[in-house]
Amino acid sequence: MDIGDCYVGWATDEDIRTRGASGGLVTAMLAAALEKGLVEAVVVLKKIGEFEAVPIVTSDPEEVKAAAGSMHSVPIVLSRYLEYGTKVALPAKPCDARSTIEQAKRGQVDIDTTYIVGLNCGGTMHPAVTREMLDVMYKLDPEDIEGEEIDKGKLIFETKDGKEHAIKIDELEEEGYGRRESCQYCAVNIPTMADIACGNWGVIGDLAGKGTFVEINTEKGIAILENAIDAGAVEITPADDKGKAIRAKVDGAMMNVAAAANEKHLSPIEGSHLDYYMNALKDCINCGACKTVCPVCACGETAKCTEFSSASDTYKMSLFHLVRFVHLMDSCIGCGQCTDVCPVDIPLTHIYQRFAVPMQEEFEYKPGMDMTTPPFFGVDLIED
């Protein structure tokens, strides 16, 4: 097995294979990594409702197996839950993988002991928006839903009576529902920065729906897949050229759509920028949630943005936000979590991206794609 190889794989356990999103390969790999001692812990999502899940750090393979399946209405980024030095594996959408790498650059995660099992990602939805969408667009009771999947551009909900209800994602997004805004312009679909990239794109023929496409990106990727094969938990077959071509084609098409969305999203502000920003931030209640969830921030409890600002400041703009604007210019990955959690609905991701994107473009630096030093810290020492 070599870096760059592509396979289609599946869990040998029938139960995992059927419950898994596309063959259960990821679940089987994570569970085998625990069982064989390759890692001490795995971070997965534990379902607590049809549209909600909580991240858990577990050493119990049964909990990992119970977490099989993709949850599209859970936008949580998992890298926040990793601990330095633990041998750990996690399933990772591109934003999970990218923030893990940014945390590693800031000494919060040991990249050598962290196995990033990448998941291709076409986007996630906000749980509350999903409920409203079910009511308004599908005319369904959210409590009546028993399953959800995305197939051929349609978002399909299954109700308890076994019926399927499908609407095109484009149509949903035109009405302001569907994927979160950040996911609409996120242009990284295949986690090339993860140790191994898994998805259902490119799985064709008899294996469609029953196999997971994997691309090996690193030595650690080889290790975690071979470990699962040796444990008898996983079987693989080389991916055929047609499958590879389809995967690349869909990825390319999605990237173009995202780039167009990004351009629209970051179109120039009309009128005074200062008025725009002052107005956008005026409702902030200083709760700090946006910082707490930010998966690339490595500051912890006492940080420059919080220590130097206070709710009683009478400044025209919040120093908390101004500091964060600068600090995130080279690291914001646009994951959308700050917007998700803001209790007063400030479009924070949108704002942070306005500051970050031009700088990242100027420095030709895309955070989280590899271990390159961020520009803010990238000073060349002069040799005497």
Ligand X SMILES: Cc1cc2nc3c(=O)[nH]c(=O)nc-3n(C[C@H](O)[C@H](O)[C@H](O)COP(=O)(O)OP(=O)(O)OC[C@H]3O[C@@H](n4cnc5c(N)ncnc54)[C@H](O)[C@@H]3O)c2cc1C
Hey, which residues between 287 and 306 contact ligand X (CB under 6 A)? none
Hey, which residues between 239 and 298 contact other proteins (CB under 8 A)? 272-277
289, 321 contact by CB (below 8 A): no
In the complex, least distance from residue 267 CB atom to other proteins, rounded to whole angstroms? 14
Neighbouring C-alpha atoms within 13 Å toward the C-beta of 161: 5
262, 185 contact by CB (below 8 A): yes
Residue 85 to residue 36: CA distance in whole angstroms: 18
Asked if 32 touches ligand X (CB under 6 A), the answer is no
CA 276 to mean position of chain CA atoms? 29
Asked if 67 touches ligand X (CB under 6 A), the answer is yes
Where on the chain is the footprint of ligand SF4 (CB under 6 A)?
75, 93-95, 121, 123-124, 182-183, 186, 284-290, 293-296, 328, 332-338, 341-344, 346, 348-349, 352
Asked if 169 touches ligand X (CB under 6 A), the answer is no
In the complex, least distance from residue 285 CB atom to ligand SF4, rounded to whole angstroms? 5
In the complex, least distance from residue 380 CB atom to other proteins, rounded to whole angstroms? 7
Among ligand X, ligand SF4, other proteins, none, partner that 328 touches (CB below 5 to 8 angstroms by kind) = ligand SF4
In the complex, least distance from residue 96 CB atom to ligand SF4, rounded to whole angstroms? 7
In the complex, least distance from residue 290 CB atom to ligand SF4, rounded to whole angstroms? 3
In the complex, least distance from residue 335 CB atom to other proteins, rounded to whole angstroms? 20
In the complex, least distance from residue 26 CB atom to other proteins, rounded to whole angstroms? 38
Neighbouring C-alpha atoms within 13 Å toward the C-beta of 343: 6
In the complex, least distance from residue 354 CB atom to ligand X, rounded to whole angstroms? 25
Measuring CA to CA, which residue among 151, 97, 93, 95 is closest to residue 120?
93
Among ligand X, other proteins, ligand SF4, none, partner that 216 touches (CB below 5 to 8 angstroms by kind) = none
By beta-carbon proximity to ligand SF4, the closer residue of 3 and 285 is 285
Angle between helices 273-281 and 348-362 in degrees, nearest 10: 140
Count CB-CB contacts under 10 A for residue 276.
14
By beta-carbon proximity to other proteins, the closer residue of 138 and 277 is 277
Burial 82-116 (b: 16+ CB within 10 A, else e): beeebbbbbbbbbbbbbbbbbbbbeebbbeebbbb
Draw the binding track, 196-215, toward ligand X (x: CB under 6 A; -: no contact). --xxxx----------x---
φ, ψ (nearest 5 deg) of residue 278? -65, -40
Give the CA distances from residue 287 to residues 46, 292, 315, in Å, rounded to whole numbers and listed in that order. Answer: 26, 10, 17
Among ligand X, other proteins, ligand SF4, none, partner that 200 touches (CB below 5 to 8 angstroms by kind) = ligand X
By beta-carbon proximity to ligand SF4, the closer residue of 65 and 180 is 180
Residue 194 to residue 197: CA distance in whole angstroms: 6
Asked if 379 touches other proteins (CB under 8 A), the answer is yes
Q: Which stretch binds other proteins (CB under 8 A): 26-34, 37-45, 55-63, 355-363?
A: 355-363
Among ligand SF4, ligand X, other proteins, none, partner that 382 touches (CB below 5 to 8 angstroms by kind) = other proteins
Asked if 178 touches ligand X (CB under 6 A), the answer is no
By beta-carbon proximity to ligand X, the closer residue of 68 and 258 is 68
Residue 306 to residue 323: CA distance in whole angstroms: 9
Non-local CB neighbours of 58 within 8 Å, separated by 6+ positions = 41, 42, 43, 44, 64
Order of all β-strands in the sheet with 114-119:
53-58, 41-47, 88-92, 114-119, 196-199, 212-216, 6-11, 234-238
Give the CA distances from residue 214 to residues 6, 197, 316, in Å, rounded to whole numbers and listed in that order. Answer: 6, 5, 51
* Interaction site with ligand X (CB under 6 A): 20-27, 30, 44-45, 67-72, 74, 78, 91, 93, 96, 119-122, 124, 198-201, 212
